[in-house]
Amino acid sequence: MAKYWNISRKRDTEETTIQKNKTRLILKKFIYFSAISICLCSCAQDSSKNKNMTPPKTTDMNQENISKTIIVMEKAALEELNKGNPSGYLKIYSEDITYFDPFQEKRFDGLKTVQTFYNSLQGTVYVEHYEMINPIVQVSGNIAILSYNLVSHIGSEVFREKCTEVYRQNSDQQWQIIHSHWSLVQPANGKG
């Protein structure tokens, strides 16, 4: 009987542990989605205008027009960067930009910091041609998220990257990038 009781007690303990783990997972998901919601809400607040900013105005645009506008802005910035000139992006970055570069360990915070980093790259990037693969823009209020894959051809080298840009439409109806995240595509087998 004692053996049965120990087995039964062990099952109860395992079931309790499983239930606790499920509860923890649900709680973690809740905290994760709450944190994302808070971030998006804080991103939606207006920041001071970038004086060098000249992107197109977008009043009363629908999803398709917003998507086209965002992609045109991104391609124009890429065209400049591919010629060694990062000013295309600097014009559409907001003052409060956060930026992850695939070759840097830490995030850059603020336009001045990103500008300093980009100035160090001035004239060093020359992409012969690129492919923006499957760009998609998701819009919610005054926030638009652009994500796409980028294939850049430099001589015989091919670089594959993933990009996510978070755009915010400011009170003057101009779109600016408030967060930029670039990462290199890593094959699942670790070879590449």
End-to-end alpha carbon distance in the chain: 60
Has residue 15 been placed in a domain?
no
Helices (H), the chain: 2-43, 63-82, 87-92, 111-121
Q: What is the 8-class DSSP label of residue 156?
A: T
| Cα dihedral value 61, 66, 72, 73, nearest 10 | 90
The pLDDT confidence band at residue 122, using thresholds 50, 70 and 90, is: confident
Has residue 170 been placed in a domain?
yes
Residue 21's identity, in one-letter code, is N
Has residue 36 been placed in a domain?
no
pLDDT for 49 equals 42
pLDDT for 124 equals 84
Indicate whether 92 pLDDT > 60. yes
Has residue 140 been placed in a domain?
yes
Has residue 34 been placed in a domain?
no
Has residue 149 been placed in a domain?
yes
| Between 183 and 3, the higher pLDDT residue | 183
pTM for the whole thing?
0.66
- Write the pLDDT tens digit of every residue in 4-41: 445 545 555 566 656 655 555 444 444 444 444 444 44
Q: Are 43 and 98 in contact (CB under 8 A)?
A: no
What is the rounded distance in angstroms from the CA atom of residue 64 to the CA atom of residue 80?
Answer: 25
State the residue range of the domain holding 167: 63-184
Indicate which CATH number applies to the domain containing 101.
Answer: 3.10.450.50
What is the rounded distance in angstroms from the CA atom of residue 135 to the CA atom of residue 150?
Answer: 9
Q: DSSP letter string over 31-68?
A: HHHHHHHHHHHHHTS--PPPTT--PPB-TT--HHHHHH
Has residue 147 been placed in a domain?
yes
Has residue 48 been placed in a domain?
no
Number of domains in the chain: 1
